[in-house]
Amino acid sequence: MKKKSTILILFLIISNFIKAQEASKIQNPPVIMEGLVGSRGFSYQLVADKKFQSIPSLGYYTVVNFQTDWGESKIGDYMLQGHLTYTILKGLNAEAGFFANPVDGIRPSAGFIYTYANSKVFVLANPRVDIAKNPNAELFALAEYKPELNEKLNLYTKIQGLYCHNLGYDFHSRSYVWLRAGLTVKEFTFGLAGNFDFYGPEKYNKNNLGFFLMVNLF
């Protein structure tokens, strides 16, 4: 009887230890992949914001997007960034890494990332600047509103914006406003989309109106 009690106590201790270890793991948000088929062409975006399990204050943040135009074989419009992040306060991270686009190539970059999230709202703001001659200063931001319609379905709306200004020559470099409205079922979101893009000092405008599909990869 005593032996059985000892085994039971050991089992409970081990079970509680395993549960504590699982609870202490960082709950990373999903990798978000989105494609848009529209009037201008095909747009793609990937966003990942992950923390290291062994060093929770450190992480990696990346945003990749590109736009292809119908009838063109080359991708002339893309932006890519990869940054290591360090948590300063809850919801606020410093970042340092690189940023790349077809005009400036690859440049070192640094900035901050602020996030706020609950069951219905997600907000992200990411100001950054190139660490280079004639640097670009940029603000990337997005806000999502996704209330529950029923047990299986959520409404999904998003506004995403970017403004990039060249500090060395003092001109508008790149900006956009992207809008999404649709429905979410499990890890899939789909609906209507509009990309409104502006390029260079003259703010030359190109729009892409169509349909999007977004997938959350855990």
What is the per-residue pLDDT across 176-207, written as a single tens digit (0 to 9) for each?
A: 999 999 999 999 999 999 999 999 999 999 99
Residues of the chain with pLDDT under 50: 10, 17-18, 20-23
Looking at residue 20, what is its pLDDT? Answer: 45
Identify the pLDDT of residue 75.
86
User: How much is the pLDDT for 164?
Assistant: 97
pTM beyond cutoff 0.75: yes
User: Measuring CA to CA, which residue among 58, 35, 34, 62 is closest to residue 48?
Assistant: 62
Contact predicate 161/143, CB 8 Å: no
Return the amino acid letter for 187: E
Class of domain 28-217 as given by CATH: mainly beta
List Cα–Cα distances, 167 to 48, 114, 120, 132, 137, in angstroms. Answer: 28, 23, 37, 11, 7
pLDDT of residue 22: 47
**Residue 214, Cβ neighbours under 10 Å: how many?**
22
